[in-house]
Amino acid sequence: MSNASRIVSIPESIVITQPAGSVLTGEAPDYWTQAWGAPLAMNDPLGIRQIDSPKCLYPNHFIDNLSWCQAGFWCGQVRPDVSNPDLFLLHPGYPDALPTGQTGQIHPINASYYRQLTIRMYIDSVDAGDPGFQVMWTNGSVADIGNPSRWGQTVFYKTYPGWNIYTIDLGAYTNGSFSGFGGTLPWSGNITGLRLDPGFSAMNNKIVQINWVRLTPVQARPLAWTTNQSGSVQISLQSSGGVNDILRQYTLGSSYSVPLDIQASAGSTMLPLSLPAGQWTVQLSVAGQSSNQAGPWDVQALPQARIVKPGYDTGDDYATAVLHRPWDMSGPQSIYSYGNMVAPTFGNNILTSSTIAIPGAQCNTGPWADPHINLLNDNYWSPPITTDPPINTARYHYLTAQVKLDGTPDVSFGWLVRINWSNADSTGGFKNCGTTRALPLHAGWNTIALDLSGAGVMDPADPCSSAWTSQSTRQQLRFDPAEESDATPFYIGTIKLTATDTVTTGLPYTIKMQANLTPGTTLTYYYNTAPYSTSGRKLAAAYVPPPPAGTHFAYLPIAMARYAGAAAADSSLPYAWNTSGVAAGTYYISVDINNGYNTTTIYSDAPVVVTQ
């Protein structure tokens, strides 16, 4: 055989030995999935958030209504006059307002548990002088970003052009001295807000995209290789059907941090990163040579679920049970009267109207347009006196409503909802009135859900300061859908005022859950006197549901979920809780959901009352 025909086999210079094949593993517990029933939504108004006040504070840093953005991605182009843009992964809410939407005031981050932050992010170009991205957090409201004792921040982490997977350990920030930039709050306790600054300087006009974000405990994955080369190892990850992304791991630096330098001679490392569900292969390169693609890590999804009964809107409804005239916006009979707004029209169970422009309105101070609808007949002094039965405040106290405004949200210019109540006196005046704090609105449909009798609901600055239950009955309930002082179309869906769910001891109570479950998933139900807690809870039952007929998507009944027509309760996964032997009391429900790889615990937002 001639030398020309001889085939020479050259061994690969680096070979992955672990993972040696497919590794089946569970997705690490993710804050958003555990707290909100689904991963952080990229292109949903309640997912990644900007300032929500472009008219009154300053324009949003990103233009984010980009027509080319793919579904499931957040895409933004930095404005020409902005060099250091920021956005919220978890919005902390506003001072002196009720928490609404997906905000940390409702479900704070347990910083001692959730600490590994992993992001798949794209930047079209990175200037040489840009120190990189930075993460900030607060245990207060949006106004506390900048308040040193209630604000913390990381060092800068070097960024790279194109798609990369970045992972950092926020738990390394155990005291304020690590930040070095002003904020002294460590990553500890309950964190209510999480902000990402994708770049620090010369970000003008740059394109930023985010595909996914995970915040989990630290769960490292072992990686091993053999090689005859020396130098730094570059690690790339590829999801099924995707492309190779370089993994950038960081350790805490004094001011700036570059990715961890892993030497080929080490032969192994642990990867502390949080991957979404899917099949992930890994590839290494060193000295210009690439390894085999190994794996995959077959990451099984966390169960995604939300309890919808008991809920804020599942108890006895006042308008249906007492008035026999539900506030379902099916026609003019759904409301009693309206004011300071264009005459409403009705269709598809939606009231449509518009605010009336108020010339000279100022940010934060108004004067406000004050559109409102009165839900009860309150004709107490002008014949013929035909009044609706008053509301029993001890029984009916959960208010839910759907509302939407057109345009760009601006909380400082009246994108706010308020709820008002009052009683009439014999002279025709009103007394014992009450007003809630403002409920900020977001883009798209918002679902408001609040307990009118709850602590902190009342606006302390409003002269109408009578608490909901300070009177045994209320004769008027008013819904103010906005305070926007420009002419702005708005829409109102169904409004409910409901009682707490009840069941008599010994009778079954149907718990309902909307979920995305795989066959074989087990559900273990508990009841507890304390909300959002596993301490002291008692076993209700263990249950293996039948395979779902179709995909069940999570619905968020808590304040300000995006409204897309919530699935009817009967379409969700039901379970009949046998209350025999359960003592009379008020109980919150929790469910442990195990799919063989992960356990997710979910909690009801509202309780059920068991009576004798």
Same-domain check for residues 367 and 480: yes
Q: Please indicate, yes or no, if residue 4 is contained in any of the structural domains.
A: no
Predicted local distance difference test score (pLDDT) of residue 59? 84
Same-domain check for residues 346 and 494: yes
Q: Which of 499, 516, 551 is the last residue of a domain?
A: 499
Same-domain check for residues 449 and 529: no
Query: Distance between CA atoms of 469 and 393, rounded to whole angstroms?
Result: 5
Whether residue 137 contacts residue 194, with contact meaning beta carbons closer than 8 Å, is answered with yes
Q: Please indicate, yes or no, if residue 121 is contained in any of the structural domains.
A: yes
Query: In CATH, what number is assigned to the domain containing residue 407?
Result: 2.60.120.430
Q: What are the tens digits of pLDDT across the range 123-166?
A: 999 998 899 999 999 999 999 988 889 999 999 999 999 999 99
Same-domain check for residues 37 and 135: yes
Whether residue 84 contacts residue 62, with contact meaning beta carbons closer than 8 Å, is answered with no
Same-domain check for residues 113 and 208: yes
Question: Looking at the predicted structure, is the pLDDT value of residue 343 above 90?
Answer: yes
Predicted local distance difference test score (pLDDT) of residue 533? 92
Residue 320 three-state SS: helix
Q: What are the tens digits of pLDDT across the range 63-89?
A: 988 899 999 999 999 999 999 999 999
Query: Distance between CA atoms of 251 and 173, rounded to whole angstroms?
Result: 11
Predicted local distance difference test score (pLDDT) of residue 564? 27
Residue 354, both tokens = 């518009």
Question: Looking at the predicted structure, is the pLDDT value of residue 553 above 50?
Answer: no
Name the strand (E) or helix (H) holding 549: none
The number of distinct structural domains making up the chain is 4
- Give the closest residue to 231 by CA, choosing from 285, 279, 290: 285
Q: Give the residue numbers spanning the domain of 271.
A: 11-28+219-300
Q: Please indicate, yes or no, if residue 242 is contained in any of the structural domains.
A: yes
Q: Please indicate, yes or no, if residue 2 is contained in any of the structural domains.
A: no
Q: What is the C-alpha radius of gyration for the chain, rounded to an integer number of angstroms?
A: 27
Q: Which of 217, 250, 267 is the last residue of a domain?
A: 217
Query: In CATH, what number is assigned to the domain containing residue 549?
Result: 2.70.50.50
Q: Please indicate, yes or no, if residue 185 is contained in any of the structural domains.
A: yes
Range with lowest mean pLDDT among 1-5, 178-182, 252-256, 487-491: 1-5
Predicted local distance difference test score (pLDDT) of residue 45? 79
CA dihedral 252, 253, 255, 260 (to 10 degrees): -100
Same-domain check for residues 194 and 248: no
Query: Distance between CA atoms of 356 and 341, rounded to whole angstroms?
Result: 6
Predicted local distance difference test score (pLDDT) of residue 283? 97
> 241: how many CB neighbours lie within 10 A of its CB?
7
State pTM to two decimals. Answer: 0.90
Query: In CATH, what number is assigned to the domain containing residue 292?
Result: 2.60.40.10
Residue 74, both tokens = 């957040």
Q: Please indicate, yes or no, if residue 1 is contained in any of the structural domains.
A: no
Q: What are the tens digits of pLDDT across the range 25-49?
A: 999 999 999 999 999 999 887 889 9
CA dihedral 594, 595, 601, 605 (to 10 degrees): -120
Q: Please indicate, yes or no, if residue 403 is contained in any of the structural domains.
A: yes
Same-domain check for residues 332 and 473: yes
Q: Which of 217, 234, 253 is the last residue of a domain?
A: 217
Q: Please indicate, yes or no, if residue 99 is contained in any of the structural domains.
A: yes
Same-domain check for residues 546 and 476: no
Q: What are the tens digits of pLDDT across the range 408-425?
A: 899 989 999 999 999 876
Same-domain check for residues 288 and 371: no
Query: Distance between CA atoms of 128 and 514, rounded to whole angstroms?
Result: 48
Same-domain check for residues 165 and 93: yes
Name 563's Cβ contacts closer than 8 Å, sequence gap at least 6. 402, 404, 444, 445, 446, 447, 493
Query: In CATH, what number is assigned to the domain containing residue 91?
Result: 2.60.120
Q: How confident is the model at residue 584 (pLDDT cuts 50, 70, 90)?
A: very high
Beta strand 473-474 with 391-392 is: antiparallel
CA angle 305, 311, 315 (to 5 degrees): 145
3-state secondary structure 383-450: CCCCCCCCEECCCEEEEEEEEEECCCCCHHHCCEEEEEEEEECCCCCEEEEEEECEEECCCCCEEEEE
Name 427's Cβ contacts closer than 8 Å, sequence gap at least 6. 381
Predicted local distance difference test score (pLDDT) of residue 10? 47
Same-domain check for residues 24 and 78: no
